[in-house]
């Protein structure tokens, strides 16, 4: 029997549901799972008032997270594995996860431990995962697997459905577009990871240093989106610093520059993103080799292969 620590935070319950699907087979196999739900001292709203939604941007990108309530993990808790589940806010880990990874207690819990990350977001998690990797490494943890769940529908459709969900709380079908969030079917099949992990823990694979959840289609990266995301993240870093130079969260002084950022963001989404997708699509035969290599690299360590699906995806 192994001791597993799972860190979770979810506003709508979507990530909590995916997490529960992964945990259930672990518990059924007799492993001990401590599920810790992060609670910010000042809760974040759902749905988000529009001003607060944009005003949170600079702190997300600059990893300046407000404090959490004390954790419930027993002080002497010894864990064999840590699973960090998070969502993406502005191409960065959501603030509660950032707060955990930057806290002394969080770092102690991760130190020298194998770590699995699980993300559920609209579809742009690559930059956030790079940040997660750095924060985990700084704390002395070893990232072993990464699982990614993205909102259903085309990238252009989720530019409408995800913000609508976040700002109004409405998730239903809209203008013929699919409902917001991760597809129910995808969520249901998340239990395959728990079944495979239970077997891996029985074999002491968490001590081996290698990925444990390969062959289960853990991540599928669209390398074309990766290129736009990289450009977006670079711009976000500049904008977030600039806005913070005008004032702190909630201060009126930074509202004008925030408004300019919002206009920039909308213009970017309406013009640059579709254009860059179109250009990449046109040149895809020429870029194919480069994009394939990039995809394989970004899908590490767990990958998009499917050789274990038959065994674990019931
Ligand atoms: C402030 C904020 C910013 C977000 N930014 C992104 C983003 O940059 N990329 C992305 O893929 N999803 C983004 N999302 C969507 C979330 O990752 C997530 O899918 C959604 O908030 C539901 O998660 P939950 O109900 O489990 O908390 C954002 C959500 C919020 C609230």
pLDDT the model gives residue 1: 93
d(Cα 63, Cα 275) in Å, to the nearest integer?
Answer: 30
pLDDT the model gives residue 225: 80
In this prediction the pTM is 0.95
pLDDT the model gives residue 275: 84
pLDDT the model gives residue 207: 94
Strand-strand pairing, 32-37 and 81-86: unpaired
Q: How far is the CA of 122 from the centre of ligand 1 (A)?
A: 6
Cβ atoms < 10 Å from Cβ of 201:
22
CA-166 nearest atom, ligand 1: 31
Tokens of 28: 């059924």
Domains belonging to the chain, first-starting first, are 3-224+295-312 (3.40.50.360)
d(Cα 274, Cα 266) in Å, to the nearest integer?
Answer: 12
The pLDDT averaged over each successive group of 10 residues in the chain (314 residues) is 97 97 98 97 97 97 97 87 98 98 96 97 95 98 97 87 95 90 96 98 95 97 85 94 96 95 89 81 84 92 96 90
Protein residue with least CA distance to atom 20, ligand 1: 121
Q: How far is the CA of 281 from the centre of ligand 1 (A)?
A: 27
pLDDT the model gives residue 175: 86
pLDDT the model gives residue 77: 79
Q: What lines the ligand 1 site, CB under 6 Å?
A: 10-12, 14-15, 48, 53, 56, 87-91, 120-124, 162, 166
Q: How far is the CA of 121 from the centre of ligand 1 (A)?
A: 5
Residue listed under structure tokens 């074999």: 203
């Amino acid at each position: 029997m192994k001791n597993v620590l799972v860190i979770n935070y979810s506003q709508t319950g979507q990530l909590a549901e995916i997490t529960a699907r992964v945990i259930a087979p672990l518990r059924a196999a007799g492993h001990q799972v401590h599920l810790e739900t992060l609670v910010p001292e000042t809760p974040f709203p759902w749905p988000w008032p529009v001003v607060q939604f944009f005003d949170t941007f600079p702190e997300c990108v600059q990893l300046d997270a407000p404090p959490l309530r004390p954790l419930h993990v027993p002080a002497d808790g010894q864990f064999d594995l840590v699973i960090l589940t998070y969502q993406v806010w502005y191409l960065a880990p959501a603030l509660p996860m950032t707060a955990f990874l930057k806290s002394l207690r969080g770092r102690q819990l991760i130190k020298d431990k194998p770590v699995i990350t699980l993300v559920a977001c609209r579809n742009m998690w690559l930059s956030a995962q790079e940040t997660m990797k750095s924060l985990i490494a700084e704390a002395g943890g070893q990232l072993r697997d990464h699982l990614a769940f993205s909102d259903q529908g085309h990238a252009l459709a989720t530019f409408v459905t995800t913000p609508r969900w976040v700002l109004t709380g409405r998730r239903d079908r809209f203008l013929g577009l699919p409902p917001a969030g991760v597809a129910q079917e995808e969520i249901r099949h998340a239990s395959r990871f728990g079944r495979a992990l239970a077997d891996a823990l029985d074999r002491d694979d968490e001590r081996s240093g290698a990925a444990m959840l390969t062959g289960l289609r853990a991540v599928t990266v669209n390398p074309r989106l990766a290129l736009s995301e990289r450009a977006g993240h670079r711009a976000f870093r500049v904008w977030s610093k600039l806005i913070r130079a005008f004032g702190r969260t909630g201060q009126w002084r930074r509202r004008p520059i925030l408004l300019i950022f919002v206009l920039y963001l909308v213009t970017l989404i309406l013009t640059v993103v579709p254009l860059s997708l179109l250009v990449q699509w046109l040149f895809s035969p020429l870029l194919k080799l480069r994009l394939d290599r990039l995809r394989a690299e970004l899908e590490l360590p767990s990958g998009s292969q499917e050789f274990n699906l038959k065994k674990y995806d019931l």
